[in-house]
Amino acid sequence: MTTASRWALAAVMLLAMIGCEREQTNQSGSGSTTAPTTGAAGVEGGGSGTGKKIVVGYSQIGAESAWRTANTESIKSEAEKRGVELRFADAQQRQENQIKALRSFLQQRVDVIMLSPVVETGWEPVLREIKAANIPVILSDRRVATSDESLYATFIGSDFVEEGRRAGKWLAEKTKGQAVIAELQGTVGSAPANDRKKGFEEIISKHPGMKIVKSQSGDFTRAGGKQVMEAFLKSPEGSSINAVYGHNDDMALGAIQAIEEAGRKPGTEIVIVSIDGVREAFEAMVAGKLNCTVECNPLIGPQLFDAVEAVVAGKTVPKRITVEEGVFDQSQAKAALPNRKY
């Protein structure tokens, strides 16, 4: 073979190799550049096309009460049921822990962030970072105070002001508008503490014979409620207190312990109304130690993940979704107790 022939053969072989490489590139590369993506991380939920899991980052307040434990379980179980990957962060009731968790979720490029904020204020900087990354935020149980509602997709939770009103109405009727009240407030600066106080005071302001003489935060914990109630009973106003308003059941249950240890009778000598509707509150009503609980339903997992799936699919969701709730007193407690799920 002549030198010219060898060069011609080499050129043909080189062209063939180039053509083969181009074919392989077209087969492997064109699919990835045109594949559809959904959400911040480009993943789709079950049944939406690719079968990839939705990834949700969730910052929970903590585990300060039986209500919160039930709330967490509802969310975790619903995520598992729907095949959603839930990245869960317990803030231990500290806002700084929640902000760190939100920024971590942002770095992880989750599809949706869910937040149960420990307090109302101080969220705008981190929420603006999340919005800039085009990751939708769903508020669970508690709202945030912001002038820009575009920073979150929806808020799913109870009407805390109305819960306070219901507690006030029940107590006004029970005491015929005559009550010297000790108030156990929730976590300072939190939405339920602010709103439950507001709603309650709105009602009792219409009854001159009803007055709050002592008011302090028990931080939504049973131990806090007991400690605060012990101090109330030892104060100069202590002997005149004939009613307790607890912003949640756990604090009220702690107050019952303090009242009994002080030699007084909860439920009769001191009328007690609280909010949440946990199982132990119903047990206390059956025992005659708690008089009324205003329900605040923690089992909102299904509603939350309905919203998650909707926002990932690009659908519009209502800005405010309210949970259905009721009011229960001692006369209803025994019949209702077997059906309580939390």
**Which two structure tokens, joined as six digits, stand for 58?**
């969730």
Structure-derived torsion over alpha carbons of residues 8, 14, 18, 24, reported in degrees to the nearest 10: 120
Write out 66-94 in H/E/C secondary structure: HHHHHHHHHHHHHHHHHCCEEEEEECCCC
Residue 213's nearest CA partner among 186, 187, 191, 243 is 243
**Pair 164, 200 in one domain:** yes
- Residue 12 within a domain: no
**Pair 164, 291 in one domain:** yes
Alpha-carbon span 76 to 183, nearest angstrom = 33
**Pair 134, 183 in one domain:** no
**Pair 317, 283 in one domain:** no
Q: How confident is the model at residue 269 (pLDDT cuts 50, 70, 90)?
A: very high
**Pair 212, 303 in one domain:** no
**Pair 150, 104 in one domain:** yes
Mean predicted confidence (pLDDT) in 7-30: 39
Whole-number pLDDT of residue 40: 40
Whole-number pLDDT of residue 52: 83
- Residue 43 within a domain: no
Condensed to tens digits (0 to 9), the pLDDT of residues 92-151 reads 999 999 999 999 999 999 999 999 999 999 999 999 999 999 999 999 999 999 999 999
- Residue 290 within a domain: yes
**Pair 185, 100 in one domain:** no
- Residue 152 within a domain: yes
- Residue 26 within a domain: no
Residue 22 pLDDT > 60: no
How many independent structural domains does the chain possess? 2
First to last CA, the chain: 90
**Pair 279, 177 in one domain:** yes
Residue 11 pLDDT > 60: no
- Report the run of H or E that residue 55 belongs to, with start and end: strand 55-60
Q: Sign of the CA dihedral 62, 66, 68, 71?
A: positive
**Pair 178, 144 in one domain:** no
- Residue 6 within a domain: no
Look at residue 215 and give its three-state secondary structure: strand
Condensed to tens digits (0 to 9), the pLDDT of residues 248-257 reads 999 999 999 9
Mean predicted confidence (pLDDT) in 226-230: 98
Average pLDDT of the chain, as a whole number: 88
- Residue 29 within a domain: no
Look at residue 233 and give its three-state secondary structure: helix
Label residue 122 exposed, middle or buried (CB < 10 Å: 0-12, 13-18, 19+). Answer: middle
- Residue 341 within a domain: no
pTM of the entire predicted model: 0.81
Whole-number pLDDT of residue 51: 65
Condensed to tens digits (0 to 9), the pLDDT of residues 294-330 reads 999 999 999 999 999 999 999 999 999 999 899 999 9
Share of the chain above pLDDT 90, in %: 82
**Pair 143, 177 in one domain:** no
Condensed to tens digits (0 to 9), the pLDDT of residues 79-109 reads 999 999 999 999 999 999 999 999 999 999 9
Is the separation of the CB atoms in 250 and 67 below 8 Å? Answer: yes
Range of 85's domain? 55-157+299-323
Identify the CATH number of the domain in which residue 248 sits.
3.40.50.2300
Residue 33 pLDDT > 50: no
Whole-number pLDDT of residue 341: 86
**Pair 214, 273 in one domain:** yes
